[in-house]
Amino acid sequence: MILAALFAWSASAAATPMTIAAVPVEQLHGRGAAVPFAEYEAETARFDGTPIGPSRRLSDIAAEASGRRAVRLDRIGQFVEFTLARPANAVTVRYAIPDSPSGSGRDSTIGVYVGQERVASLQLTSRYGWFYGRYPFSNRPSDGAAHHFFDEARQLLPRTLAAGTRVRLKVDGSDPAPWTVVDLADFEQVAAPRPAPEGAVDLTRFGADPTGRRDSTRALEEAIRAGQRTRRPVWVGRGIFRVDSHVIVDRVTIAGAGPWYSILKGRGCGLYGKAAPHGSARVHLSGFAILGDVRERVDRERLAAIGGSIGGGSTIRDLWIQHHKTGIWLDGPLDGITIENLRIVDNSADGLNLAGGAANATIRDVFVRNSGDDGIALWSRRSADRNVTIANDTVIAPVLANGIAVYGGRDIVVANNLAADTLTEGGGIHLANRFHAVPLSGRIGVHGNLLVRTGSYDPHWRFGIGAVWLYAPDAPIDAAIDLDDNELVDTTLPALQFLGESIAEVQVHGLDIEGAYDWLQVQSAGSARFAGVRARGLDHVGSGRCNASFRATFANVDPALTKAEAGLCGALDPAVVDQRLSR
């Protein structure tokens, strides 16, 4: 159980506890992605600055922070100081700085100090954040409604720092931003660069420039053709290789020295399978970073780090993906792919989406933070995604929509994931017949997930969206849906929600709720069986069953929770909304 320590707040902590999404790591119980870093929240560190938050209001910077809290540094000399619990030679900082008046972005730095020594300078920018207006958003400050404030900067340190070292992020006179908000720091021990596989085709042999000054797109294409012809892996060695367009991959292995060392970078940089329905197969990608240069969301543009159709036993693993429109967007039909051990951060739209006809796919140990839309999504566009497992993944602070969303499909498992800090128009886990998807069918299992500070207030509907919500606007949901042993903590408004047309055949077992406006909000016809529901810290103890035709049966549930309570499903009182969004 997530205890009160989850919400601890201290401006002078002697040691900085390790967390993921402000959840103490010892309380994850195997849920979420296995990550190589230790995460430290700024607000629980030692700092000389101004704490901000909590807030869940769109356009508040704190609302987008991990844990809904952060630290703002306004003056020269202010700092956040972390005490390392284990050795580290690299740091990633999640931060925000103000945009330029024109919306084109501003650059800055912040010092990384050990004692009195400035061991590194992190390069900060607002160029990938600060979206304005309503969906699909713009870079024009005059449109108002600013959001998507945060970005991440990473740096290899000049030496390994021992456990117990105090590392300070400090603003100096040479750091030009008017203010800097520090959300968190991820420290890790990055291994030495991996050697090239025996017999690998070296990218530089084809004229690739590891300094990033010259475009290496043609060199990469030639290396891939050589790898395909000789059945040898393509080697992306140490360096930054500028790639300014999509490169087609099929029946090829591309490996790198590690995501901190081997980098493909450029606007439009992407590795794409062949177009469906004749997609690519036996593609294996590992050990490098793909860094884009996407500064706004334009939905008609195809700007994924990995796209097209890729299946046939392919694997995508151990990659760092940042600053694209979508991290991975694969179009079906495709059959047979494993996606694992990725970091996908700071994109303008989805983190990862399998869009129609993906079969026999596994998504596991994927870490997504600051996606501009759903963190991980299945969208059964034109044909059903089927036999897909989304397991042990982490999604933190999607700026729009949901942590994990399943739009139609058949025989899908969503298990042992962590989602936290959803902001607007979405919740932690979403099952839906919408966006013209092939309707849900077969068995849909949602098991053992941990959702923290999820759900949201929808400004269009003027009521809440659940931490787990089922929505049937296009067609009734009649798949066999099992919601087993899920834990919902500090939910913004309703914990569990049924909305739209009829939603039937839902089995809820072992639901554990700590903190919510109400535990159940039913705005659909249909039926569900609830067993072993435990709920504490509710503003309203009863259930909001607002459709009289919905049939609910209960077993091993506190009778107080089973009582129908009127008035929970319509437009909410603004005072209630204000109170709930101030958490």
Task: Give residue-wise pLDDT tens across range 53-75.
Answer: 999 999 999 999 999 999 999 99
202 and 176 in a common domain: no
Give me the chain's average pLDDT, please.
95
Query: CA nearest 49: which of 32, 35, 69, 67?
Result: 69
What's the average model confidence in pLDDT over 280-296? 97
- Supply the pLDDT for residue 378: 98
Tell me whether residue 50 is in a domain: yes
State pLDDT tens for residues 524-566: 999 999 999 999 999 999 899 988 899 999 999 999 999 988 7
Task: Evaluate the omega torsion of the peptide bond into residue 398 and state whether it is cis, within 30 degrees of 0.
Answer: no
% of the chain beyond a pLDDT of 70:
97
73 and 10 in a common domain: yes
How many structural domains comprise the chain? 2
- Supply the pLDDT for residue 9: 29
Model confidence at 463, pLDDT cuts 50, 70, 90, reads: very high
Write out the E strands in 346-403: 352-355, 358-369, 376-379, 386-391, 394-396
Beta partners for residue 247, in sequence order: 271
Tell me whether residue 151 is in a domain: yes
State yes or no: pLDDT of 442 exceeds 90: yes
176 and 199 in a common domain: no
Tell me whether residue 392 is in a domain: no
- Supply the pLDDT for residue 64: 98
State yes or no: pLDDT of 376 exceeds 70: yes
- Supply the pLDDT for residue 300: 82
157 and 8 in a common domain: yes
158 and 24 in a common domain: yes
Choose one of 155, 188, 221: the last residue of a domain.
188
State yes or no: pLDDT of 27 exceeds 90: no
State pLDDT tens for residues 464-504: 999 999 999 999 999 999 999 999 999 999 999 999 999 99
Choose one of 322, 355, 381: the last residue of a domain.
322
Model confidence at 100, pLDDT cuts 50, 70, 90, reads: very high
Distance CA 167, CA 115 (A): 8
CB-based contact 260:156 (threshold 8 Å)? yes
Q: pTM value?
A: 0.96
Model confidence at 301, pLDDT cuts 50, 70, 90, reads: confident
What's the average model confidence in pLDDT over 361-374? 98
123 and 50 in a common domain: yes
State yes or no: pLDDT of 304 exceeds 50: yes
Distance CA 242, CA 264 (A): 6
Write out the E strands in 77-150: 79-83, 88-96, 107-114, 117-125
- Supply the pLDDT for residue 15: 60
Instruction: Provide the residue range defining the domain that includes 226.
Output: 193-322
28 and 99 in a common domain: yes
- Supply the pLDDT for residue 6: 32
